[in-house]
Chain A
Amino acid sequence: MAQRRPKGQIALSAGIFALGVLVLVGAADLPAGGGYAQVGPGVVPRIVGAGLVLLGAMLLREALTGGYRGVDEDAELHLPMDWTAFAWVSGGILAYGFLVERAGFLIASTLLFVAVARGFASRRWLSNALVGLAVAAFIFAVFNYALGLQLPAGVLKGILP
């Protein structure tokens, strides 16, 4: 394990470096000077971009020379990614984004609840769905009837009071 390079750390450090480059590229279009202030909208982005590039490079160095300091990478390795769980949680949130205005808040929230619970290995579909619906209905009632803020009813429009 000693010579195993922490691929994830290297990728993440490179990602931070790349983000810095992205910020610098974006800042290049923004004027750095101008006006009485002599400090235009481009100055702070340049500083931030340079900072990210520098930090990315330093993190990369740490990653390449034995890994991040102060992180117990070995302990992490004993915990393999549970991609199924990851997919359930991710799917639940993304579905919510697609459905909240199409199917409505109640349906989207109930599905999210069931999906996240499944991500945590709960297979009690029916009871989860009922609990999720109850939570969503409570929020919906508070918002739409007590506060007067409109959460979308979606396909249930007309059915709900």
Chain B
Amino acid sequence: MDVWAQLANGFAVALTAQNLMWALVGVTLGTAVGVLPGVGPAVTVALLLPITTKVDASGALIMFAGIYYGAMYGGSTTSILLNTPGESATIVTAMEGNQMAKRGRAGPALATSAIGSFVAGTIATVGLTFLSPLVVELGLKFGPPEYFALMIVAFTTVSSVLGDSTLRGMAGLFLGLAIGLVGIDNQTGQARFSYGVPQLLDGIEVVTIAVGLFAVGETIYFASKMNQVQEKLEEVSGSIWMKWDDWKRSWKPWLRGTVIGFPFGSIPAGGAEIPTFLSYAIERKLAKDPEEFGHGAIEGVAGPEAANNASSTGAMVPLLTLGLPTSATAAILLSAFQQYGLQPGPLLFEANPALVWGLIASFYVGNVMLLVLNLPMVGLWVKLLAIPKPQLYAGILVFATMGVYGMRQSPFDVFLLYAVGLVGFLMRRYGFPAAPVIVGMILGPLAEEQMRRALAISQGDPMIFLNHPLSASLLAVAVAVVVVPGLWRHFGPRRKAG
């Protein structure tokens, strides 16, 4: 049977009343846990695993998958409205999204993120349907040297988030790298910079830093600096929907974000954060008016939001075709399969095509549901911004502390959050951008780990990075990203000075 026939059979499974209901429950729950900072899809699915004893396999798996990609829809909401990312993959969204909200454009920001998520989710599902074998093959080509090269590419895009001053941006980046060092070194099991504090052995959670720098730092800054100034949050002006111009500016970033996010989701250690950085960097490079970035450019919301959604669907590729989990949530989905005695992999496609294709078909259905569910919510969400400033910021902090405390149920993290908030306040006060800290914190440990793994494999020979064609080409891309703009400025046609 060809793919089309299989898919048609899959839809027959996904469109039964019962499975439609499970998909709806899943995506609704997913949206909810995405909105709440501190509760992720992995935890939620894990909590719901016991229902596998009562619900049939396709129903439960359709619901679990719905939670997974549904969370990516919800995560952007608090990023945009409150500058408090609900998931680590929506930190980048906060950069432009919250600026848009401050300029009265929360509606279009939320809309482009919902529609972008839909576009990305749907295209990624098409990719899952037709390209799976190809993508898996590519994913397996990635070993430690390739990952390291990929991290270096990601590092070179950092310049786009550095802000007005390269010096202060770099200081932020290195602060993030320093924070990333804290905790047990994975290659030797040695504790670094934990000063005997057991809570620090785990390393510091990205969410704590992000919420501290963004939400807490911002609140302290506004309370102690801007109170006297009668500057209030911009009322929502104009239509809450996207205008023609917003559509025109969004559709390309949606597509580019999808193309970046999908393959990233399908490789282990790819994650959903890095494609959002890359997408943001690319949108900024390609923007007609890069100056608008940092002040609410819709492209900077559309791209990353598409990227994180595509990556969550991308994670289904190795999971379904190889039984290989590439993220925490995927790992729990895998154990959900195993609850039913099913082992994802090529054999499952043959042994139980109705289930696999029913699940894939449910992704199409679920994404439509999410769009229908989330678009009307936009109107409701933007009303949040009409709340007076004291109560709005008080509410933000209640959510922020809950999210950080709730992750590990540790008061230590609350005090850490306050300390990070003070740092965020100082950075804000002296014009240091916060995003590079997050970038450094995520990329630093990954890059170090992969570099040391690669070097162990090559017995200390750094040529391993150049001998592998894929890693060498990635490094060439990195060099190009750094060198070409400089050459272009020197020898290229004159452009408006930045």
Contacts and interface: CB of A to CB of B under 8 A. Distances in A.
A, B: real partners: yes
Contacts of B395: 113, 135
A63 to B, nearest CB: 9
6 contacts: A23-B193, A68-B165, A82-B223, A116-B393, A119-B393, A142-B36
| Size class of the A contact interface (CB-based, 8 Å) | 35 or more
Nearest to A47: B177
Contact of A52 (B32, B174, B390): B174
A136 interface: yes
A64 interface: no
A139 B192 contact: no
B200 interface: no
Contacts of B456: 35-37
Interface in A128-153: 128, 131-132, 135-136, 139, 142-143, 147-152
B139 interface: no
A101 B47 CA distance: 23
Interface of B: 32-33, 36, 39, 43-44, 47, 164-165, 167-168, 170-171, 174-175, 177-178, 181, 185, 187-188, 190, 192-193, 216, 219-220, 222-229, 388-391, 393-395, 397-399, 401-402, 405-406, 409, 411, 414-415, 417-418, 421, 426, 429-431, 444, 448, 451-453, 455-456, 459-460
B190 A30 contact: yes
Nearest to A81: B224
A38 to B, nearest CB: 4
A107 interface: no
A8 B390 contact: no
Contacts of B223: 82, 85-86, 88-89, 116, 119-120
B394 A55 contact: no
A8 B181 contact: no
A115 B165 CA distance: 35
Contacts of A94: 415, 418
Contact of B444 (A44, A52, A142, A143): A44
A41 B220 contact: no
A82 B164 CA distance: 27
Interface of A: 8-9, 12, 16, 19-20, 23, 26, 30, 35-41, 44-45, 48-49, 51-52, 55-56, 58-59, 62, 68-71, 76, 79-83, 85-86, 88-90, 92-94, 96-98, 100-101, 105, 109, 112-122, 128, 131-132, 135-136, 139, 142-143, 147-152
Contact of B390 (A83, A93, A96, A121): A121
8 shortest interchain CB distances as A-B pairs: A122-B390, A120-B390, A38-B460, A97-B414, A37-B455, A116-B394, A86-B224, A117-B390
A115 B398 CA distance: 11
Given A20-B174, A35-B456, A149-B406, 19 more contacts: A39-B451, A41-B188, A55-B167, A68-B168, A76-B429, A82-B223, A82-B225, A89-B397, A93-B401, A100-B411, A109-B398, A112-B401, A119-B219, A119-B223, A119-B390, A120-B390, A121-B390, A128-B391, A139-B36
B-side binding surface: helix, strand, loop or mixed?
helix
A78 to B, nearest CB: 9
A58 B331 CA distance: 46
Nearest to A69: B165
A64 B421 CA distance: 27
Given A90-B418, A151-B406, A79 B228 contact: yes
Nearest to B33: A147
B190 A143 contact: no
Contacts of A149: 39, 43, 47, 406
A59 B171 contact: yes
A76 to B, nearest CB: 7
B35 to A, nearest CB: 10
A92 B451 CA distance: 43
A93 B444 contact: no
A55 B406 contact: no
Given A121-B227, A147-B44, A55 B430 contact: no
A119 B417 CA distance: 18
Contacts of B455: 36-39
| B216, B391, B444, B451: most-surrounded residue (chain A CB, <10 A) | B391
Contacts of A147: 33, 39, 44, 47
B418 to A, nearest CB: 5
B354 to A, nearest CB: 31
B426 A12 contact: yes
A83 to B, nearest CB: 7
B187 A37 contact: yes
A79 to B, nearest CB: 5
Contact of B391 (A19, A86, A93, A122): A122
